């Protein structure tokens, strides 16, 4: 039907309040202007690398549950590649900032988010798994595009360019298309999506305040 709102569009619109709160958060504004305390960013990188490993695991579990649908598995394969590229970025940051990514103790906000992702990936159907993962992808594409272009003098230029890139937007859009396909008849996806967005905002707040475990 012409003009029909797609599921991913509706969910994003319902959660624009949280997306806007993330964009206006002091941590993100610090990235935008390049004035973020390097120690705060160092802590964020460590926590985000810990998170991304769980995100990677959730993608793998979702792919396994779609093993009978080759096209869906292909989408997850490409998304897994995207996470691996993010982890490579974090590894470069870790090397320059002297972070031991093998000895990261997660903050409570990080643990809440990763526990939610892994539990959903193990226990839920693919539609709910994707609904739990789309917010991260769409939010980071939104933030990156909102902050771009970054000046050469901005020490966080690599971060902004990664998430504002056409390649990252394509991955986010492909995951949203999969959500539209899988979630046509699923129930309760609104709650799953919003909780993931709430976790994103809590993650930035935790990084900003350097909340101790």
- Pull the structure tokens for residue 15: 């959660």
Which distant-in-sequence residues (6+ apart) come within 8 Å of 43 by Cβ? 207, 210
From CA 26, how far away is CA 210, in angstroms rounded? 13
- Pull the structure tokens for residue 97: 């900032």
Catalytic residues: 136, 200
From CA 172, how far away is CA 79, in angstroms rounded? 9
From CA 84, how far away is CA 53, in angstroms rounded? 9
Answer positive or negative: Cα dihedral of 130, 146, 194, 7: negative
Cβ burial, residue 88 (10 Å; 0-12/13-18/19+): exposed
Torsion of CA 148, 152, 158, 160, to 10 degrees: -10
- Pull the structure tokens for residue 162: 């990664």
Residue that has been written with the tokens 């643990």 in this structure = 111
From CA 53, how far away is CA 12, in angstroms rounded? 25
């Amino acid at each position: 039907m012409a003009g029909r709102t797609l599921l991913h569009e509706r969910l994003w619109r319902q959660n624009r309040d949280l997306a806007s709160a993330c964009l206006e958060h002091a941590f993100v504004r610090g990235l935008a202007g390049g004035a973020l305390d390097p120690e705060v960013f160092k802590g964020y990188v460590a926590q985000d690398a810990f998170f991304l490993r769980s995100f990677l695991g959730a993608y793998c579990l979702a792919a396994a549950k779609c093993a009978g649908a080759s096209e869906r598995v292909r989408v997850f394969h490409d998304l897994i590649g995207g996470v691996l590229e993010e982890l490579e970025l974090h590894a470069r940051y870790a090397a320059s900032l002297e972070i031991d990514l093998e000895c990261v103790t997660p903050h409570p906000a990080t643990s809440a988010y990763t526990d939610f992702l892994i539990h959903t990936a193990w226990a839920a159907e693919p539609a709910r798994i994707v609904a739990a993962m789309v917010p991260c992808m769409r939010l980071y594409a939104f933030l990156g595009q909102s902050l771009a272009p970054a000046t050469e003098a901005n020490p966080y230029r690599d971060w902004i360019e990664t998430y504002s890139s056409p390649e990252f937007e394509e991955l986010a859009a492909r995951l949203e298309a999969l959500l539209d396909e899988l979630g046509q008849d699923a129930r309760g996806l609104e709650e799953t999506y919003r909780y993931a967005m709430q976790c994103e905002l809590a993650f930035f707040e935790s990084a900003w305040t350097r909340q101790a475990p």
